[in-house]
Structure 1
Amino acid sequence: MPELVFPLDSSKRFTEQDIVGHNRWHPDIPAAVTVRPGDVFRVHCREWFDGAIHNDDSADDVRDAPLSTVHVLSGPIAVEGAEPGDLLLVDIVDVGPIPQEDSGPLAGQGWGYTGIFPKQNGGGFLTDQFPDAYKAIWDFRGQTATSRHVPGVSYTGIVHPGLMGTAPSADLLARWNRREGALIATDPDRVPPLALPPLPQDAVLGSLSGAEFDRVAAEAARTAPPRENGGNQDIKNFSRGTRVFYPVFVPGANLSMGDLHFSQGDGEITFCGAIEMGGFLDLHVDLIKGGMETYGVAENAVFVPGNVEPRYERWLAFSGTSVTLDGEQRYLDSDLAYQRACLHAIDYLSRFGWSREQAYLLLGSAPIEGRLSGVVDIPNSCATVYIPTGIFDVDVIPSAAGPTRIDPGQGAPHSSF
């Protein structure tokens, strides 16, 4: 096993660990550990809510989830010799649930969860159609996930970290705060909000304390969106074997990671759309000196995806265009087109006996493929969602016999405000 540089004890909360990570981005959060170019090492990661979501049949924990606490990240990890302008090469050597723990109260101990977040607490891609909280618990057996809350399906997960990135420079952080603050100002009372400004409440900033903690907490960026440093990109193909090239903005690069997923569909459309879990990452790092200028990678990571995707041979695809549910035409709105494709898939699957909420949870967590299929023909863009037919216990291809109805079981737990 590679050297464990960032250990976590499952019996302790994130803030009680021997090495404390962070849940905000800021250049002045001190590195927790240092590694060298060429090193291979192991990092433990907590589930993004640090145990706030439980393996039960209630969605109250999703409804009341403490968004101010996320994401709990392992790091920062400094890479010796890294300087601004370099590219940090990161290989995902291995990734998985909490090692040697196949049962227990924490997501990653033999199980994980998917949540539809309520509109009043985070929302999601289809929050206007699904404004309440729902949850599905998924059990792991090897690489396969099944759920008592979404019966009739099982699938192979593409295990990956939803979040990994380098620390921003002070200038880059200031740009984030300016542009996101300007966006919020256009509609400050929107629910859910247009962006998440710095929030000192519940900030975890590694080893910082006192006045320095207070200063950084007031400036630090939330970890929810992806940005130029990588961050919460939620790319399902960041699997074992992936090689990522991150821009370096501060000395040491200060790499951090977390938000591990057992599986996810393209878009993570329910907000907590993946199967969330804690676990481990084995990483190899190296440097390309001056690589940002050499390759023109001044912002946002580039990567070579891993090659461990499940083998599904047949797919059922749904399309959508940029027309709203009430018939308003939008100009090449690919986001809307993907929403409509997903809604068509949800409506279709409901004909087989799954509730619309069960279908929505499935699209968020299963290895679906989302694509921009046409962005050239005005005024309609076309987006598509591909669902592997092999994940279902029944044949979901249209036929003259009509849909085979499944038993939806107890359904997905539901809570409303």
Structure 2
Amino acid sequence: MPELLFPLDSSKKFEDQEKVGHNRWHPEIPPVATVKPGTSFRVDCREWFDGAIVNDDSAEDILNAPLLTVHKLSGPFAVEGAKPGDLLVVDILDVGPIPMEDSGPLAGQGWGYTGIFARNNGGGFLTDQFPDAYKAIWDFTGQTATSRHIPHVSFTGLIHPGLMGTAPSAKLLATWNKREGDLIATDPHRVPPLALPPEAEHAVLGSLAPSEFARVAGEAARTAPPRENGGNQDIKNLSKGSRIFYPVFVDGANLSLGDLHFSQGDGEITFCGAIEMGGFIELRVDIIKGGMETYGVSENAIFMPGNVEPQFSQWLAFSGTSVTLDGEQRYLDSHLSYQRACLHAIDYLTKFGYSPEQVYLLLGAAPIEGRLSGVVDIPNSCSTVYIPTSIFDFDVQPSAAGPFQISPGIGAPRAANR
């Protein structure tokens, strides 16, 4: 087994561990370890809320989820010899839930969760249609996920890190803060907000010296969006066997990671749309000197997915175009057309007995495929959502007999409005 460079004790909070990670991006966060190119190592990861979400039949924890605390990242890991302008090569050798536990209080110990976040606390892709907080708990049996909150469904998980990236330079960090601040200024009171500015409250900055904490916490970027360094890309295909090439902006590259998912649909549409869990990941790192200029990888990561994806042979697909729900035509709006495709899928599956919230949760957690099917035919873009039919234990195809009626079970827990 590769050396465990970042251990986590499941009985302790993230900030009380032997080695403390971080939940903000900043070039001055000290690395927890330095590795040589070609080295393989193992990292424990805590789910993004560090145990704030529990295995029960209530969604009050989702309603009150502490968004200022996320993401709880393992790292940074410095790579010896890495310099700005290089490419950092990261191979995912293995990834999985918290090992050696059949069940326990932390997500990853035999279970995980998906949440619909309340509009005033994070929101989601369809927050206008789903403004309230809901939750689904998923149980793991080997590689299979099932839920008491969304019955008649099971599927194989494609486990992956939702978040991995290198540290920004001071210049790049300033660029992020400027452009996101300018966006916020266009509608500063919007709910949900247009972006998340630096926030010192609940910042975790590893072993940074106390004398520097206030300054760095006030500058450090939130980890919610993907950016030039990779970050919270939520790409479900970055699983075992994947190779990722990250731009390097600081000496050592300072790689960090976390936000492990047991499964996810393309887009992670409920915001906490994946099946969130803690676990472990094994990596190997290397360097391509000067690779950013050589390959034109200056403001993005590129990757080669692994070959462990579950195989599906039959799909039911739904399409959407860039027309709003009240009939307003938009010009090639692919974001809108994907929303409409998702809403069409939700409308369809409710005919079998599910609630709209159960289907919304399912689309975030199950291995659905989202595609931009047409982006040139003015004025309508076309987006599509592909749902593997084999995840259901009943026939979801249209037929002359009409939709089979399932029992929705106890349903997805909903938090009380406040």
Q: Hey, what does 2:346 align to over in structure 1?
A: 346
State how far apart, in whole Å, the 1-side matches of 2:187 and 2:6 are: 41
State how far apart, in whole Å, the 1-side matches of 2:217 and 2:263 are: 32
State how far apart, in whole Å, the 1-side matches of 2:77 and 2:11 are: 23
Q: Which amino acid aligns with 2:225?
A: P
Q: Which amino acid aligns with 1:118?
A: A
Q: Hey, what does 1:282 align to over in structure 2?
A: 282
Q: Hey, what does 1:52 align to over in structure 2?
A: 52
Return 5+ residue gaps in structure 2 as ranges: none
State how far apart, in whole Å, the 2-side matches of 1:228 and 1:241 are: 23
State how far apart, in whole Å, the 2-side matches of 1:200 and 1:93 are: 35
State how far apart, in whole Å, the 2-side matches of 1:92 and 1:379 are: 41
Q: Give the TM-score of the pair, scaled to structure 1.
A: 1.00
State how far apart, in whole Å, the 1-side matches of 2:56 and 2:154 are: 20
Q: Give the TM-score of the pair, scaled to structure 2.
A: 0.99
Q: Which amino acid aligns with 1:127?
A: T
State how far apart, in whole Å, the 2-side matches of 1:199 and 1:172 are: 18
State how far apart, in whole Å, the 2-side matches of 1:242 and 1:102 are: 27
Q: Hey, what does 1:184 align to over in structure 2?
A: 184
Q: Which amino acid aligns with 2:252?
A: G
Q: Structure 1 residue 211: deviation in Å?
A: 2.6
3-state SS of 1:121 partner:
coil
3-state SS of 1:105 partner:
coil
1:34 and 2:34 aligned: yes
Q: Hey, what does 1:333 align to over in structure 2?
A: 333
Give the total of aligned pairs: 417
Q: Hey, what does 1:210 align to over in structure 2?
A: 210
State how far apart, in whole Å, the 1-side matches of 2:316 and 2:366 are: 13
CA-to-aligned-CA distance 1:187-222 (integer Å, 9 cap, x gap): 000000000000000000000132301110000000
CA-to-aligned-CA distance 1:345-383 (integer Å, 9 cap, x gap): 000000000100000000000000000000010000000
Q: Structure 1 residue 299: deviation in Å?
A: 1.2
Aligned residue runs from structure 1 range 54-69, under 5 A:
54-69=54-69
1:164 and 2:164 aligned: yes
Q: Which runs of 4+ in 1 moved over 6 A?
A: none
Q: Hey, what does 1:319 align to over in structure 2?
A: 319
Q: Hey, what does 1:117 align to over in structure 2?
A: 117
Q: Hey, what does 1:101 align to over in structure 2?
A: 101
CA-to-aligned-CA distance 1:65-107 (integer Å, 9 cap, x gap): 0000000000000000100000000000000000112210000
1:238 and 2:238 aligned: yes
Q: Which amino acid aligns with 1:283?
A: L
State how far apart, in whole Å, the 2-side matches of 1:211 and 1:19 are: 19
Return 5+ residue gaps in structure 1 as ranges: none
Q: Hey, what does 1:257 align to over in structure 2?
A: 257
Q: Which amino acid aligns with 1:76?
A: P
Q: Structure 1 residue 8: deviation in Å?
A: 0.5
Q: Hey, what does 1:382 align to over in structure 2?
A: 382
Q: Which amino acid aligns with 1:237?
A: N
Aligned residue runs from structure 1 range 18-33, under 5 A:
18-33=18-33
Q: Hey, what does 1:155 align to over in structure 2?
A: 155
Q: Hey, what does 1:408 align to over in structure 2?
A: 408
Q: Which amino acid aligns with 2:2?
A: P
Q: Which amino acid aligns with 1:34?
A: T
Q: Which amino acid aligns with 1:260?
A: L
State how far apart, in whole Å, the 2-side matches of 1:102 and 1:248 are: 39
Q: Hey, what does 2:268 align to over in structure 1?
A: 268
Q: Hey, what does 1:174 align to over in structure 2?
A: 174
Q: Which amino acid aligns with 1:54?
A: V
CA-to-aligned-CA distance 1:235-272 (integer Å, 9 cap, x gap): 00001000000000000000000000000000000000
Aligned residue runs from structure 1 range 287-298, under 5 A:
287-298=287-298
3-state SS of 2:163 partner:
strand
3-state SS of 1:183 partner:
helix
1:128 and 2:93 aligned: no
CA-to-aligned-CA distance 1:144-166 (integer Å, 9 cap, x gap): 00000000100011100000000
3-state SS of 2:180 partner:
helix
Q: Which amino acid aligns with 1:394?
A: F
CA-to-aligned-CA distance 1:295-319 (integer Å, 9 cap, x gap): 0101110000111111110000000
State how far apart, in whole Å, the 1-side matches of 2:59 and 2:246 are: 37
Q: Structure 1 residue 412: deviation in Å?
A: 0.2
Q: Structure 1 residue 386: deviation in Å?
A: 0.1
3-state SS of 1:119 partner:
coil
3-state SS of 1:347 partner:
helix
State how far apart, in whole Å, the 1-side matches of 2:209 and 2:288 are: 34
3-state SS of 2:93 partner:
strand
State how far apart, in whole Å, the 2-side matches of 1:154 and 1:147 are: 8
Aligned residue runs from structure 1 range 357-368, under 5 A:
357-368=357-368
3-state SS of 2:222 partner:
coil
3-state SS of 1:294 partner:
helix
3-state SS of 1:120 partner:
coil
State how far apart, in whole Å, the 2-side matches of 1:210 and 1:86 are: 31
State how far apart, in whole Å, the 2-side matches of 1:209 and 1:113 are: 35
Q: Hey, what does 1:13 align to over in structure 2?
A: 13
State how far apart, in whole Å, the 2-side matches of 1:192 and 1:220 are: 21
Q: Which amino acid aligns with 2:139?
A: D
State how far apart, in whole Å, the 2-side matches of 1:148 and 1:315 are: 24
State how far apart, in whole Å, the 2-side matches of 1:272 and 1:364 are: 8
State how far apart, in whole Å, the 2-side matches of 1:332 and 1:226 are: 23
Q: Which amino acid aligns with 1:30?
A: P
Identity over aligned residues, as a percent?
Answer: 79
Q: CA RMSD in A?
A: 0.5
Q: Which amino acid aligns with 1:121?
A: N
State how far apart, in whole Å, the 2-side matches of 1:51 and 1:343 are: 31
